[in-house]
Structures are given as structure tokens and as C-alpha cells.
Chains A and B, each alone.
Chain A
């Protein structure tokens, strides 16, 4: 009953064009935080109102006719079936309306396509199933995965999504940009087609493998803006969100400094307790493996092999290590992981997911001679 009332209220508000009613019943496009997104919002509202107007006129006439020109009311049918003047009018008027719509639309489109005079460039790479960001001006480079809490809940039947803040819209490492700066994006992909969309920025753009696309944004307001991949990219298409944090320049500069330093730090190769190895290993697994091999290591019959009881996973760790680094035609190579992550991941895979090898691997064991490169 309550739902029905809310629905009814929502529909009425929609009819009145009042926009957002309450948080959970968002009805309309959001204005966003860039000039372009505001222009698009205005375009959207303009067309919406034009459609409402045309709808009122056409449906008004239709329903007037439905109520008055009924046989049951004794109305006798007229027999006209042509009227050239009327037909010309209702061809010309819509054409004029379309021209009127095309003008602001063209203006916004031209503005959107002008990527010149940007202050900085970020390379966005879509991957199955996370985003990879590279700041071309200062060498910051990181991956942005769905956060672990969402990762666990969305893979478990019956788990409560409401217990996770920003369920499915949160990442481990958000993209950080400064406000009032024109940020240029070059988008590409290394596997299938993805599409990068943050509604508050006002656009989405496809990331095509082998090619680059470009787009730009200029955010006015500091804040956290969330979006998702919008081109079907496989089984975890719904689980590669985007989080953009826009900061004041000073905060941004501090972030750049901090992040660059962190990036330069060598991984800590000191020994860990078994518990630590397992806990960290699970994190590495959730970021890199779970999309295909699943949360219980069962894989997908016919497509992806199970890790539970797998000869490779539970065999000699050296060959597992080599296998992960080399990749296969189905599996990407995981040489991006460092020795610490390899040790944690392998310990986890060999002693969880239904496997009980019983060993534990320390980072020093898995380190390669050229790991400090």
C-alpha cells in the first residue's frame, strides 16, 4: 500500500515536472557538476517539455474525441478522410520544432568535442573487469577495482547489499582530479569494448581495444562522483564501477605527491604470519581472480576451470608461479603482481577455496631477480 502511494506520488511529481522527489525515487536526470552536464540537462528538459506539450495537444485531441465521438453517445461518424491544409501544417510545424531543437544540441555537441587546451591528460583503460588509470603528466598509474565489501556481497546468495555503503558503486582506488582544470581523457581497452560513464560529468565514451577515444571534463565542485561501465563487457560487466573524486588544487597536489611516493616504494618483502598471508591473499584474489574463478574457486563449467582441486593450483608452487606470470590464451598474465602479492595469492589459493596443500609461501621465496626493476 505504502509502495503504491509512493508510486502514485512519484507519478504525480513526474507529471508536474518537479524533478527529484526523494533520494530513492529519483525521477529525472541529474544536473551534474560540469558546464556540459548542465547544458545537457537543459537540453533534456527542453526536449522533455516540448514532448509534453506535443503530447498534451495530441492526446488531448484524441481523448476529447474518445469521450465525445462515441457511438454510445449517439455521435454519427463524419466521413472526411483528407485535408491537405491540415496535413501540410502538421508536417511543417514539427519540422520547425526540430530545427529549434537542433540549434542548442549542435552547440553543446561542438563544445563537448573540443578537447583542446586541456591542463592534464589521464589515460583510461578498460579491462575485464576494472579500470586502469594512468596520469600521463606525472606517471601515477593504478588500477581501480570494485571494493571488497561489495565484491563479497554481490557474489553471495542472500547477502544484504544494504549493509555495504555505496554498494557496487565503490572502488578501492578512486580517480582523483583537480577542480577548475580541464582534464582530458584518452580511453582505450585491452580486451573487449567497455564504456566509461560518470553521470555527473555528463557523458560516456566507449573504450575500444586497439584504438583511443578522447573526452574531457572540467568539474566545478569538489566532491565524489560515481558511475559504472555501460557497455556489456562480459560476466562482471555490472561490477566495474567508477569513482571520481574532484579536489581543490592544493589537496590534489598533496594527493599526487603522496601517491607518487607510495608508488615508488618497493613492496615489503618481509615474512608474514600465515594468517596475514591468507588475509592479504584473499584481497589479491578478490581483485584479480574472482571474476572468472568465482568466490568459491569453482570456476564456470565449460568456460573457466575450477581452482578447487586443480592440479596446477595445488602442484608445485614454482610451476603455479610460472603459470600465473605467463598467462594463457584465456587468462591474462599476472606479472603485474609483485612478489609479496604472488606469495599471498598462492598461499591463499593453495589453502583455501577447498584446497589444503598446507604450505605457506613468503615473499622472499617468490621474488624474482629482476623484481626491483
Chain B
């Protein structure tokens, strides 16, 4: 981390990143309450975890490269799938969006900083502690948790399945939960109280809107998850019987509580993605965002629906017909607001004057590939069909399409889009485009065949498979290795840009006419350490022309 620090210092010595003395320099990052510093910390931490979680995915794909036992024991394989999910969800994607929120929300709404800067610092370090605690279980007797990231009892409580790791994993979930709840509280307080007086709620950039809604989701469901894992803990060590049939409990109850958290959780990872896409696409289409108000409403209705559809994750658990029908219908309805979003992005591009810099390329591929993930989601909402798809590679393909070429691609897009603003340096467009094309091709080689595998009957979470699944698995693994390796390019670009990039001095707007689209582009590049000490008086967002 110390190799890439210091570029945001307000006295503009952007290139001399070796000049801080170890104590003073490091201390700045530990005690900082500056939203930009904390944003940087979050983003770099998330990037690190992206590679940690990615390495675990490489282990999985290496074992699945061919049928038969190659490298890892089945229990370690299960640990890898479990930890890959937990690290990617709680260590990479969520912190990355919190990092973006920290950097961008104050800049976008004309605030000096986040509302509660000290809590901001605390929530970051609690995240680090939580993830380190989780990672430490890898070295414990009996290995890391291996019952899947969903932590279903009785499996995760079984003495032959879990060693010493369970209480540590659960405590880590508590820390991560508290960290994200604090982050969410901070974001809501910032958006409600710190906006420039000129900015009304319906003037806010969509990124701010989607994060506001996401923050409410976080506050609503993270505590429920914390409660569920606490019940697991007391069931295991204090002889309660929430999920133990012997004492009058029910393991299926855990599934209900988990997915009551879990379904909003997946939207926590996708709603800010929608916000970033809605911010980037208009800039490169040189057009205002189409249907601003309907975007806000669609986001809010998706968030609302996420609370009442959870049991579509468990159609096969044995529900009465009324329950199955209700959850099927409710789930299908989500397609409507989601469709509205996709249509709006398309309409935003329509009759624009598009250019295709790396952020735009990633955003367009997000729209296309997220829509593919949405289609399979719609297919899965049909309960009888889900009886075939459930817990197969079809599902794996579905949620990876909505997370990798959607959430992750948009995070990449956001990196390319805002790094020049933050650092004052332009990234290398050629390498950026190479990174994009390698990523978009390999991600499809990686995940598209998994649809076929699932439909052909390959269950998920298995370390070995029947030989008829061999060919598609090999192709998928090859795609996975290329995708994994391609991401090193991104790492290179980030470091290179921080250290000076192409050497080209970027303008304040960075992108052509960007100032029309967001307040942050009216600030100098690189962004000064303190911004908006005087709140802006004009809100330059053009999408709201009519609503005034």
C-alpha cells in the first residue's frame, strides 16, 4: 500500500510518493478522517481482496480443469468456494462501492466531507479486522469454513465439517456487518445533511440516489444476518434450538432468515452499479440520462421488492403451493423495473454522439452482460423450471453474470472514469482498451459455458464431475485463467496512473463536457485534499432541467 500513497495530498506533490517518512506517512493513513483518504483505503483494500478472492477462484477452476482429483482435497475445495464468495462479497465488491461512495458522494453533492468522519475511519479499520479474522481461519485446525457462504445448518455446525473456524468466521461476519452498517449510516447522514443547499433530492446524481437506497437496504438487512449467525453460534455453543429439529427448531428457518438478508444483499451489490452506469453512459453519449425520475423509482421499487421475494432461493425446500406461487409471481415482477433501467440506458445511448473510451466500453458491456444475467434470472423465477436449474452451474453462471461482468466491470469502469480526476493523471488508454477486450472475451469464455453445464445436469459446489462435463469445464477454466491474468493489467494501470500515467496533464473536466453531468468535474484535477469548503451554488446536472 505504501508504494501507491500520497497522490492526493493537498500540496500537490503528486509524483514524489516516496517522500513521506514511514511513521508520519503511515500514521496519516491510520488516523485519517478525510473522505478521499478513506475512499482510497477502501478501494485499495477492495482491489487487494479482489486478487485474494480471485486466487481462490483460480484454485477452483484449476481443480475443475479436468475430471478426477488433481490438486485439492474436497473439503479444501469447499473451503475455497465458501471463502471465495465471502471474500468477494464482503471484502471486494461491497468495500469497493463504499470506497467509491466515500470519494464521490461528497464531491457530487458539494459536501466538504462525510457527515461523521471519525466513524468513517473506524468502519474502514473494522472491515480490515473482519476480513483478516476471516482469512485467519484458513490457517486454523480443521480449515476455513466449508459449508458454503450461505452457512446452512446443520452442516456448518457439524463436528466433522467445521473445525475451530466457526466462531471466528461468525465474529468476522459481525465485524463486517457493523462496519457496513456504520458506513451506511454515514452515507445516509451525508446525503441528507451535507448536500449543498442548491441541490434538491431530485437533483442528485443517480450514483448518489442508488447509494442512498443501498444504504437503507444495508441498515435493514445486515443486522438480520448478524442475528442469523448469532443464532447459529448459540445453537452450536449454548444449546439453543433455533435451527435444531431435536429442540423444536427447524433448519429451513435459517434458510428463510438467511435469504431475507441474502436477497437484498445481492441488490446491495448491484444498485450502486446501476448508479455508476447511469453516471458514465451519459458522459460518453454526450446526452442527458434518459428517464432520470423513472430510474430513481425503478431503483426504489427494486429495493422494495427485494424484501418480499427471498424464498425464490429455496423453491425446492418444500413450500406449500401458495408460497411457491406467491414467490414466483413476486420475483417475476422484478423484471419490470429492471427492464425499465436497461431500456433507459439504451435510450440514453440512442441518438447520442458516442465515443468509446475504456469506461464507456466497460459500461456498455455491463448493460449487455447484466441483461444476460437478468434473462437467466427471469428464467429462474419460473418455479417449475427452477426445479431443474436450482443448485446447478446454471445458477453459478447466472449470478456470476450479474456480479462479474456487471458489478466488477462497473467498478473497473468507475476506476478508469474517476482515476484521472482523483490523481490528475491520464491512464494509458491503449492498455485500458486491451484490458477491456481481454476481460470481456475471457469472462464470456469463463461463464457462458457454465449455462450449458448446468442445463446438462452438473450440480454446483462439487470438486469433481462426470466426464461428459469435461469439455465445457476445460473451456470455462481456460477463460478463467485468461480473465484472472488480464486483471493484472488493471493493477498495472492503477499503479501506473497514480505514478503519473501517460504524463498528459488532464483538464478539470477530464472528459469532454463532463462538467454538464456532475459537480465533481468542476473541481480542479487532481482533486484537492479539501473540497467544497464553500458549497457550490449552481447545480450543473442537466437531467433535471424540466423538473425545476
Q: Do A and B come from one complex?
A: yes
Q: How far is the CA of A86 from the CA of B503 in the complex (A)?
A: 46
Instruction: Give the total of A residues in contact with B, Cβ under 8 Å.
Output: 113
**Do B355 and A70 touch (CB < 8 A)?**
yes
* Stretch in B269-277, B282-290, B431-439 touching the partner: B282-290
**A62 with B252: in contact, given A98-B335, A202-B388 (CB under 8 Å)?**
no
Partner of B316, one of A14, A205, A238: A205
**Do B459 and A193 touch (CB < 8 A)?**
no
Instruction: State whether the Cβ of B12 lies closer than 8 Å to any Cβ in chain A.
Output: no
Instruction: State whether the Cβ of A158 lies closer than 8 Å to any Cβ in chain B.
Output: yes
Find chain A residues with CB under 8 A from B316 CB. Answer: 195, 203-206
**Chain B interface mostly:** helix
* Stretch in A39-47, A257-265, A340-348, A355-363 touching the partner: A39-47
Closest to B332 in A: A98
**Do A238 and B462 touch (CB < 8 A)?**
yes
Find chain A residues with CB under 8 A from B289 CB. Answer: 81
- B362-373: CB near A (< 8 Å → 1, else 0) gives 001001100110
**Do B335 and A109 touch (CB < 8 A)?**
no
A237, A239, A292 pick with most chain B CB within 10 angstroms? A237
CB distance from B286 to the nearest CB of A (A): 4
* Stretch in A130-138, A161-169, A275-283 touching the partner: A161-169
Instruction: State whether the Cβ of B390 lies closer than 8 Å to any Cβ in chain A.
Output: yes
Closest to A7 in B: B475
CB distance from B459 to the nearest CB of A (A): 4
Find chain B residues with CB under 8 A from A82 CB. Answer: 290-293, 546
**Do B160 and A211 touch (CB < 8 A)?**
no
Find chain A residues with CB under 8 A from B78 CB. Answer: 232, 234-235, 237
Find chain B residues with CB under 8 A from A98 CB. Answer: 332-333, 335-336
* Stretch in B54-62, B68-76, B304-312, B525-533 touching the partner: B68-76
Instruction: State whether the Cβ of A23 lies closer than 8 Å to any Cβ in chain B.
Output: yes
CB distance from B107 to the nearest CB of A (A): 23
Closest to A29 in B: B455
**Do B465 and A238 touch (CB < 8 A)?**
yes
Beta-carbon contacts under 8 Å, B347-367 to A: 347-356, 364, 367
Closest to B479 in A: A7
Find chain A residues with CB under 8 A from B466 CB. Answer: 166-169
CB distance from A55 to the nearest CB of B (A): 7
CB distance from B396 to the nearest CB of A (A): 12
Find chain B residues with CB under 8 A from A101 CB. Answer: 332, 382
Find chain A residues with CB under 8 A from B460 CB. Answer: 230
Q: List 14 A-B contacts (CB under 8 A).
A: A26-B452, A47-B385, A62-B349, A62-B367, A72-B355, A81-B288, A91-B339, A105-B328, A105-B384, A210-B245, A227-B457, A234-B78, A300-B75, A302-B141
- B-to-A contact residues, CB < 8 Å: 67-70, 73-75, 78, 140-143, 146-148, 152, 154-155, 158-161, 163-164, 245-246, 250-252, 285-294, 314, 316-318, 321, 324-325, 328-329, 332-333, 335-336, 339-340, 342-343, 346-356, 364, 367-368, 371-372, 375, 378-379, 382-385, 387-388, 390-392, 445, 448-449, 452, 455-457, 459-468, 470-472, 474-475, 542-543, 545-546
Known: A81-B289, A82-B290, A210-B246; 17 extra A-B contacts, CB below 8 A, are A11-B448, A24-B471, A29-B388, A30-B455, A40-B387, A44-B379, A61-B346, A62-B346, A75-B352, A81-B291, A113-B324, A128-B160, A203-B316, A209-B154, A211-B252, A230-B459, A232-B148
